[in-house]
């Protein structure tokens, strides 16, 4: 079960590219559960899912559970930088949680590299816990959709 903005939903997780990573889409929120190394095909698929969400809502909120994730390969970092090089940036926000202290530092360096190699300045929030990440996501959703009322 997962909760954003006070509502609890069953998580219909799906395999990302037939591998160990899992995802599900809840309206404007794309959930991603990392399991092991992230390679270019994983990020390309995730970007396609994000594009679908952006087409529908004008933005995408991405929440990533990194507790069981490992590293992001150089080819994956290149794929993100190449994709974003000449693209206008929609108002997308990524919230990460479950990172070790070392991983938080590596994420900061990776995001800086992506920013230098592309025209995009990613909006990333790093949270210590899932509860903190869900609170950040709920605030971002409220900002993006001020008229949204969660189901009761």
pLDDT of residue 31: 93
Measured CA to CA, the distance from residue 44 to residue 40 in angstroms comes to 6
Q: What is the pTM of this model?
A: 0.77
Please report, rounded to a whole number, the percentage of residues in the chain having pLDDT higher than 90: 22
Task: Tell me the pLDDT tens digit for each residue of 38-91.
Answer: 899 998 998 899 989 989 988 899 999 999 987 888 898 888 778 777 666 666
> Which pLDDT does position 151 carry in this prediction?
53
Q: Give the residue among 136, 141, 138 at the shortest CA–CA distance from 124.
A: 136
- pLDDT greater at residue 6 or residue 120: 120
Closest CA to 90 of 125, 38, 55, 118: 55
- Check: CB of residue 63 under 8 Å from CB of residue 133: yes
């Amino acid at each position: 079960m997962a909760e954003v903005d006070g509502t609890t939903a069953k998580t219909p997780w799906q395999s990302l590219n037939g591998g160990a990573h899992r995802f599900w889409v809840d309206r404007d929120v794309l959930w991603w559960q990392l399991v092991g190394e992230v390679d270019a095909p994983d990020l390309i698929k995730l970007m396609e899912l994000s594009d679908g969400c952006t087409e529908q809502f004008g933005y995408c909120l991405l929440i990533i559970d990194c507790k069981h994730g490992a590293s992001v390969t150089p080819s994956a970092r290149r794929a993100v930088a190449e994709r974003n090089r000449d693209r206008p940036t929609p108002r997308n926000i990524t919230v990460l949680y479950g990172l070790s202290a070392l991983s938080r530092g590596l994420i900061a360096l990776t995001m800086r590299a992506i920013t230098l190699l592309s025209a995009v300045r990613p909006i990333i929030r790093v949270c210590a816990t899932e509860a903190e990440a869900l609170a950040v996501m709920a605030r971002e959703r409220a900002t993006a959709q001020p008229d949204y009322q969660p189901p009761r």
